Structure 1
Amino acid sequence: MSNTTYNFRKFDRVNNAECSFSVSDSIEEALSIFISSIKNHDIHVDFEYRGLQMVYGFPTVFSQIILHILINVRETFDTNNISNRKLKIQISNDKDFIVVEFTDNAGGIDPALISKLSEPYFTTKEHGTGNGLYITKLYIEKMNGFFKVQNTEDGSRFILSVPKVLS
């Protein structure tokens, strides 16, 4: 519990400065905060730390984006009453971008709603604000990246593409 409190305090520090940061470290940070919820909701996360894929942007905000995606996935598992809950987090590189994909088996999203998910104030939740994915999109674009949501065979995929730091 004290480790979780420490991680949350570290995570909660406001740091809006742009700088180079590791995508893997940001994911690990968000997962460390969310670990008790992952265990309590029996979500099996497959994430292999991939080293220092460096991007330029807002590290604290990026970790908050990851945390928001994790919360959305958890809520979708609960809403859709999914057993055998799986979330796969993959990091890949292309010429200019680090691409992070969050793929779940939570049943997917109504195809008619996917294009609306990142609009302000649009929500599919009874008590949602409709700003989480909208803010995600804004910050990823502010980092000169791209945000995309798509359905898979048995769930959905959230894709974050952020320009990599060239060495």
Structure 2
Amino acid sequence: MSDSATTPGRLPHEKGFHISWDQLHRDSRALAWRLDGQGPDEGGWRAVVAITRGGMAPAMIVARELDIRTVDTISVMSYHSGGGAADQRREAQVLKSPDKELMGDGDGILIIDDLVDSGKTLELVREIYPKAHFATVYAKPQGEPMVDTFITGVSQDTWIFFPWDMALQYVEPYRGKD
């Protein structure tokens, strides 16, 4: 079975990039450090807006590191037909917007997500807030043009396993039971 983020015939875990909570925390802090002093207001940022749901943990860490107290969310849903392959994606829709007074055209606002993949979500949000600064922790080549700042690039066919999607479980020893 194939997936949109993998090559045909390859299972998602065959080219997987596993992110632990510790790694996500380190990479999100690195993102904050890269963004520090880069805002339009004497280097500062007015607010952080997380793209839900994946952007919430990185946005919280960035807001903490940069001492930004105003945090909001934007929720975007992409609808799929068929099995959800990239070529079957339909238009994205904003389900929940941040405060309009706060946002304006996005000037001084950091919009944070965990990953930019195809770039469709960020493209929609960028149309709404053209002056916002878009930052992700991870980026795939197809989506890179939609992001202003990111920490780690991964190939388009890499499947990223985020810690909120994983669970710890017992694994049999390689040589069998003792």
Please identify which structure carries the higher helix content. 1
Instruction: Say which one has the larger Rg.
Output: 2
Higher relative contact order (CA 8 A, sep 6+): 2
How does the TM-score come out when normalised to structure 2?
A: 0.27
- Normalised by the length of structure 1, the TM-score is 0.28
